[in-house]
C-alpha cells in the first residue's frame, strides 16, 4: 500500500519530535505507508525552502504560489509565476483561492485579482492548481468558471455538496484532510461519501489540522494514513482501495498518467 500526502507544508512542520531531521520524519511517514508528498508554497519569500526540499528528496514535489491570506509579501504577475514554475519538480500552481474568513469580502479585490493571475498561470503552464477556499464558495466557483480553470484540486475541502459538484463539473479533484475525522464533521463526511472514487485525494495540510487520534498535537504527513482510513470507513471500503485510488488520481492529475 502507498499513500500520497497531496498537500503539506514540510518547510513549516515541527521536526523536534524527529531530532530535527527531515529524513526521520519521512521515514516515520513511510511506516504508515505515506511515501510521497506535495509540499505546497504559501509565499514567495519561502519558495526557495520549498523548492530545495523537493530538489533534495526524490519523493517530495513542490508548488509555487501565494496564499490568499498573505498580505505583506511579493504578489507575482502571471509571467513571474510562469518563470518560477518552470522546473520539473514544480508540479502545481498554488496554493491560491479566496478566503473571506481572514479577509473581509468587500475589501478583497486584490485577493480575487491574485486568484485570477494564478488561474492564468496554471492554464498557460499546464500545471494544475491547488485551490484554497474558505467562506467564499460562490465567488471561488464563479472566478474558476470565468477564467476557465482547467485542472486542479480543491484542497482541504470543507464546503457543501453543491460546491463539490460545481468543482467536479469543471474537472477538478476534491482533497480531504483531517477535518473529516473531527466529531462535528458529519455534513462533510456525507460529501466525502459522494465524491467519485476517481476524483478523490487525501492530505494532511500539516502542520495544521491534525486528525483524530492525534488532534491537539502537531500534525505530520504520516497522518494522511488516518485521513485515508476515515475515508475508507465512510465509504464502506478498505484503506487499500482508498490508497490505490488516491495515488492513481494524484498521478493522473499531476503527471497525466493513466
Ligand atoms: Zn489552504
Ligand atoms: Zn495549505
pLDDT of residue 216: 85
Task: Tell me the residue ranges of DSSP E strands in the chain.
Answer: 3-8, 34-39, 60-64, 90-99, 129-134, 152-154, 173-176, 200-202
Ligand 2 center from residue 205 Cα (angstroms): 5
The CB density around residue 115, as the number of other CB atoms within 10 Å, is: 29
pLDDT tens-place values along the chain, 258 residues long: 999 999 999 999 989 989 999 999 999 999 999 999 999 999 999 999 999 999 999 999 999 999 999 999 999 999 999 999 999 999 999 999 999 998 899 889 999 999 999 999 999 999 999 999 999 999 999 999 999 999 999 999 999 999 999 999 999 999 999 999 999 999 999 999 999 999 999 999 999 888 888 888 889 999 999 999 999 999 999 999 999 999 999 999 999 854
pLDDT of residue 214: 86
Ligand nearest to the CA of 158: 1
Ligand nearest to the CA of 97: 1
Ligand nearest to the CA of 40: 2
CB 87 within 8 A of CB 46: no
Ligand 2 center from residue 7 Cα (angstroms): 6
pLDDT of residue 215: 87
pLDDT of residue 258: 44
Ligand 2 center from residue 9 Cα (angstroms): 6
pLDDT of residue 257: 59
Location of C-alpha cell 531531521: 21
Ligand nearest to the CA of 136: 1
* pTM exceeding 0.85: yes
Output the nine-digit C-alpha cell for 131: 485551490
Output the nine-digit C-alpha cell for 189: 463526511
CA distance 160 to 144: 17
Amino acid at each position: 500500500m502507498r499513500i500520497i500526502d497531496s498537500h503539506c507544508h514540510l518547510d513549516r512542520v515541527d521536526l523536534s519530535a524527529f531530532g530535527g531531521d527531515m529524513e526521520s520524519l519521512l521515514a516515520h511517514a513511510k511506516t504508515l505507508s505515506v511515501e510521497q508528498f506535495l509540499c505546497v508554497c504559501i509565499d514567495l519569500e519561502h519558495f526557495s525552502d520549498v523548492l530545495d526540499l523537493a530538489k533534495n528528496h526524490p519523493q517530495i514535489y513542490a508548488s509555487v504560489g501565494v496564499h490568499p491570506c498573505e498580505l505583506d509579501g511579493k504578489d507575482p504577475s502571471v509571467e513571474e509565476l510562469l518563470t518560477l514554475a518552470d522546473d520539473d519538480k514544480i508540479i502545481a500552481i498554488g496554493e491560491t483561492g479566496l478566503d473571506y474568513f481572514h479577509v473581509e469580502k468587500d475589501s478583497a479585490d486584490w485577493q480575487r485579482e491574485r486568484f485570477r493571475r494564478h488561474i492564468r498561470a496554471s492554464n498557460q503552464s499546464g500545471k494544475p492548481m491547488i485551490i484554497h477556499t474558505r467562506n467564499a464558495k460562490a465567488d471561488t466557483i464563479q472566478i474558476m468558471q470565468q477564467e476557465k480553470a482547467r485542472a486542479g484540486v480543491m484542497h482541504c475541502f470543507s464546503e457543501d455538496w453543491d460546491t463539490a459538484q460545481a468543482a467536479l463539473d469543471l474537472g477538478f479533484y476534491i482533497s480531504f484532510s483531517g477535518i473529516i475525522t473531527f466529531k462535528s464533521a458529519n455534513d462533510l463526511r456525507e460529501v466525502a461519501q459522494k465524491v467519485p472514487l476517481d476524483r478523490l485525494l487525501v492530505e494532511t495540510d500539516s502542520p495544521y489540522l491534525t486528525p483524530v487520534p492525534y488532534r491537539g498535537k502537531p500534525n505530520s504527513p504520516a497522518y494522511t494514513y488516518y485521513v485515508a482510513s476515515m475515508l475508507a470507513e465512510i465509504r464502506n471500503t478498505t484503506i487499500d482501495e482508498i490508497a490505490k485510488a488516491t495515488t492513481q488520481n494524484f498521478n493522473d492529475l499531476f503527471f497525466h498518467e493513466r
